[in-house]
Amino acid sequence: MADRKTCRYCFSEIDARASVCPNCRQRLCGAWRTVMQIVVPIAFIAMMFASILWMEAIFTRGFQAPPEEFAKHRDELRVSDTNINFGKEVFQTGQRDIVAVVGTLQNDGDLAWQDIVLTVAFFDKENRMVDAIQNMGQLSVSARGTASFKVSAERHFPKDQYVSYKVQVALARHARWRWPF
Ligand SMILES: [Zn+2]
């Protein structure tokens, strides 16, 4: 003979194992089953949402400092020992003229920098800008360190128009790891 219990809705005596009362058809599941059926699925959906948002943050921003932080440290990166060179790049179907600026990047600050973007502007003898180029590489510099760089591109104008030039650090990112929020 199975154990008996009293239905809490209609107070009739029923089988202790019943999850639905055979008399009044009320569900007799306990508090733990309510938790499992409502709270757990909601928590699971919330975790899925959090995971999607986190992955999205990693893919769009990455584990890196935002570039705007560079503005506060711009003066810590100094360009020196620059030199301009003209050359030719030879490939199978022909050749093209190249202009290149090399130099040293000195970091006076306590932060390491990566993804450094250098821009070079070229001026003619009347000090008018004739050309501008940007490095495509992966330039980085350690804290209190130095890095050699080369910024080069195809030369589109006569060599004698490249009278002077100016190198600027346009952008850089902190090299340290950062939580993506
Ligand atoms: Zn009942």
Mean pLDDT of the region 52-57: 86
Which residues are registered as beta bridge partners of 166?
A: 121
User: Residue 39 Cα, ligand 1 centroid: separation in angstroms?
Assistant: 26
Is the pLDDT assigned to residue 40 strictly greater than 80? yes
Neighbours of 135 (CB within 10 A): 19
Range of the domain at 114: 67-174
Does some domain include residue 48?
yes
Residue 179 lies in a domain: no
The tokens for 109 are 């600050």
Residue 43, H or E segment: helix 40-61
Question: 130, 159 in Cβ contact below 8 A?
Answer: no
Number of structural domains found in the chain: 2
Regarding whether 141 and 53 lie in a shared domain, the answer is no
Residue 61: pLDDT above 70? Answer: no
Instruction: Give pLDDT, residue 26.
Output: 87
Residues 136 and 150 in one domain: yes
CA–centroid distance, residue 36 to ligand 1 (Å): 23
Indicate if the pLDDT at residue 141 is higher than 90. Answer: yes
Residue 137 belongs to some domain of the structure = yes
pTM (two decimals): 0.62
The three-state secondary structure class of 165 is: strand
**Cα–Cα distance list, 128 to 63, 121, 151, 164 (Å):** 41, 10, 20, 10
Predicted confidence (pLDDT) per residue in 71-100, tens digit? 889 999 999 999 999 999 998 889 999 999
7 alpha carbon to ligand 1 midpoint, in Å? 5
The CA 171 to ligand 1 mean position distance, Å, reads: 73
Provide the pLDDT for residue 44. Answer: 95
